[in-house]
């Protein structure tokens, strides 16, 4: 069986910082950053680092985040922790952002839709500030690789947080790294197409560019009431009639594909390839941002679709065939072992190694601790830190994959 090779006609970069793995949104919270540990270990276990350039991400600067977000919100995010939250909320400049309100579950919310309650979508947790600025830094570094022509495809599985608004966290998203990336891209590319295959509507990105005809947003998502209550599937927007701000020059530069529960591979493929293909033909993007939320997979803890890793990856392949500068981001994904399988597979597809992932993990490629030392960038080097605590889980995921993947 052929080993992992570097892709022939294009260059791929991979942006990551293992610090994000240590974060915990809370015991019962569905967002588990350790899914990124599993992903990293599968990627390294298969030797995919040799097919691309891996870069250790650094934190984004506050000034960079202000390109989209409100100054007060950025300052708050950069200072907040479970320890500082209450005192910060008392500061006069933040009080105007703190209307007395609660969420649909009667959880009390602080400023910017943040809360220290474990029952909140957007909790304040230890190390949160570092986590937010790191995933954003990774996306901006990946974007820079593309805009400076140093990579053709750039990957950040820790990014893709599509619900965050200008001055409000929403749906597990605090900083909208996607919007920040597209703002950077617009300095170089005439037109950017944003495609979102997360099971949720990419509302934050759509809203940010609702008046911008140089950005087309296209989201595929579960839409509609999902049980016998009146509750809508989060965030409740993204109807087919939603096409960008009416009367503005951005009208018709947003596309939405609302979908019922249980969609299968064949149906998804039909929708994705027809709509995306026609959007690309009509809009003629200069670059593409693809949000690969893995909660559209069957068996996801929050999602309600029924698509397999194979079809999820076919979306990546379809986009890749257009040979445009492409930023590949993560997003949702709440059944961690499947998230890791999907994103490792999609890393392989991006590097033209899609047919080479044997379901039998080559054991000599399981990363050894000494392999995790920092080396100079640019020659398929490995990540510098080894998370001892996570090692067993990761090996477990690899063993499980021998049986199930593809
Ligand atoms: O796209 O449905 C909601 C909003 C609520 C119900 C949940 N409560 C906590 C707040 C009010 C109406 N929120 C969704 C957000 C989904 C975000 C998806 C992000 C992305 O994949 C991109 C990363 C939601 N669905 C499920 C939950 N929240 C949820 C489930 C279980 C829990 C535990 C922790 C917290 C409270 C109990 C929570 C949220
Ligand atoms: Ca979506
Ligand atoms: Zn989602």
For the question of residue 201 being annotated catalytic, the response is yes
**Distance separating alpha carbons of residues 273 and 283, to the nearest angstrom:** 15
Neighbours of ion ligand 2 (CB under 5 A): 196, 198, 219, 221
Q: Is 113 left (phi over 0), alpha (psi -120 to 50) or beta?
A: left
Question: From the CB of 391, is ligand 1 less than 6 Å away?
Answer: no
Q: Which atom of ligand 1 is nearest to the CA of 162?
A: 22
- In the reported structure, the alpha carbon of residue 12 is separated from the centroid of ligand 3 by a whole-number distance in angstroms of 25
| Tokens encoding 190 | 């005439």
Over its length of 406 residues, how does the chain's per-residue pLDDT go in tens digits? Answer: 459 999 999 999 999 999 999 999 999 999 999 999 999 999 998 999 999 999 999 999 999 999 999 999 999 999 999 999 999 999 999 998 987 788 888 888 999 999 999 899 999 999 999 999 999 999 999 999 999 999 999 999 999 999 999 999 999 999 999 999 999 999 999 999 999 999 999 999 999 999 999 999 999 999 998 777 789 999 999 999 999 999 999 999 999 999 999 999 999 999 999 999 999 999 999 999 999 999 999 999 999 999 999 999 999 999 999 999 999 999 999 999 999 999 999 999 999 999 998 776 555 554 444 443 333 333 333 333 323 333 333 333 443 443 343 2
- Label each residue of 6-71 as H, E or C: CCCCCCEEEEECHHHHHCCCCCCCCCCCCHHHHHHHHHHHCCHHHHCEEEECCCCCHHHHCCCCCH
Q: Provide the 8-state DSSP code for 61.
A: P
**What is the maximal distance between C-alpha atoms in the chain?**
64
| Cβ 374 vs Cβ 56: under 8 Å | yes
Ligand in nearest proximity to the CA of 160: 1
3-state DSSP assignment of residue 224: coil
**From 15, 41, 200, 201, the catalytic residue:** 201
The vertex-321 CA angle with 318 and 327, nearest 5°, equals 80
Question: From the CB of 234, is ligand 1 less than 6 Å away?
Answer: yes
- In the reported structure, the alpha carbon of residue 286 is separated from the centroid of ligand 1 by a whole-number distance in angstroms of 34
First to last CA, the chain: 16
Question: From the CB of 105, is ligand 1 less than 6 Å away?
Answer: yes
Question: From the CB of 119, is ligand 1 less than 6 Å away?
Answer: yes
| Cβ 274 vs Cβ 281: under 8 Å | no
| Cβ 296 vs Cβ 202: under 8 Å | no
Domains for the chain: give ranges and CATH numbers.
14-58+125-404 (3.40.800.20)
Q: Provide the 8-state DSSP code for 297.
A: B
Q: Around Cβ 250, how many Cβ atoms within 10 Å?
A: 21
List, in sequence order, every residue forming a beta bridge with 170; answer none if it has no partner.
173
Ligand in nearest proximity to the CA of 27: 1
Question: From the CB of 7, is ligand 1 less than 6 Å away?
Answer: no
ipTM reported for the complex, 2 dp: 0.99
The vertex-216 CA angle with 143 and 298, nearest 5°, equals 80
- In the reported structure, the alpha carbon of residue 50 is separated from the centroid of ligand 1 by a whole-number distance in angstroms of 37
**pLDDT tens, 366-390?**
444 444 333 333 333 333 332 333 3
Give me the chain's average pLDDT, please. Answer: 89
Q: Is the peptide bond before 387 cis (omega within 30 degrees of 0)?
A: no
Ligand in nearest proximity to the CA of 315: 2
Helices (H), 284-335: 309-320
Task: Return the closest-CA partner of residue 120 out of 107, 104, 106, 101.
Answer: 107
For ligand 1, atom 1: residue with the closest CA: 200
Question: From the CB of 198, is ligand 1 less than 6 Å away?
Answer: yes
Residue with tokens 């009146």: 230
Work out whether the CA dihedral 333, 337, 340, 341 comes out positive or negative: negative
Question: From the CB of 293, is ligand 1 less than 6 Å away?
Answer: yes
């Amino acid at each position: 069986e052929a080993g992992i090779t570097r892709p022939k006609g294009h260059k791929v970069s991979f942006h990551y910082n293992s610090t994000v793995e240590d974060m915990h949104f809370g015991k019962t919270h569905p967002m588990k950053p350790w899914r990124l540990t599993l992903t990293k270990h599968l990627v390294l276990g298969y030797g995919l680092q040799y097919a691309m350039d891996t870069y250790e991400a650094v934190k984004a600067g506050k000034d960079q985040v202000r390109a989209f977000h409100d100054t007060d919100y950025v300052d708050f995010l950069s200072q907040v922790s479970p320890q500082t939250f209450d005192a910060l909320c008392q500061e006069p400049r933040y009080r105007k952002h703190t209307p007395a309100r609660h969420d649909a579950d009667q959880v009390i919310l602080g400023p910017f839709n943040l809360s220290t309650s474990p029952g909140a979508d957007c909790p304040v947790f230890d190390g949160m500030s570092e986590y937010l600025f790191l995933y954003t830094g990774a996306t901006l570094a990946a974007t820079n690789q593309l805009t400076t022509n140093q990579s053709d495809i750039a990957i950040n599985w820790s990014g893709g947080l599509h619900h965050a608004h200008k001055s409000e966290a929403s749906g597990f998203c605090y900083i909208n790294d996607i919007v920040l990336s597209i703002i950077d891209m617009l300095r170089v590319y005439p037109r950017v197409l944003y495609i979102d295959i997360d099971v949720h509507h990419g509302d934050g990105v759509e809203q940010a560019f609702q008046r911008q005809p140089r950005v087309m947003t296209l989201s595929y998502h579960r839409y509609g009431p999902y049980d016998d209550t009146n509750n809508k599937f989060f965030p409740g927007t993204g109807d087919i009639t939603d096409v960008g701000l009416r009367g503005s020059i951005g009208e018709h530069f947003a596309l939405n594909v609302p979908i019922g529960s249980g969609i299968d591979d064949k149906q998804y493929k039909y929708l994705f390839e027809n709509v995306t293909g026609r959007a690309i033909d009509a809009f003629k993007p200069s670059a593409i941002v693809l949000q690969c939320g893995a909660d559209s997979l069957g068996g996801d803890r929050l999602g309600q679709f029924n698509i397999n890793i194979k079809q999820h990856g076919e979306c990546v392949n379809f986009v890749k065939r257009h040979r445009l500068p492409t930023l590949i981001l993560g997003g949702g994904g709440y059944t961690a072992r499947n998230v890791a399988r999907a994103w490792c597979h999609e890393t392989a597809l991006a590097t033209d190694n899609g047919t080479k992932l044997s379901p039998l993990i080559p054991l000599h490629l399981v990363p050894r601790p000494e392999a995790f030392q920092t080396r100079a960038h640019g020659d398929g080097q490995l990540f510098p830190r080894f998370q001892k605590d996570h090692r067993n889980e990761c090996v477990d995921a690899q063993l499980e994959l021998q049986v199930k993947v593809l």
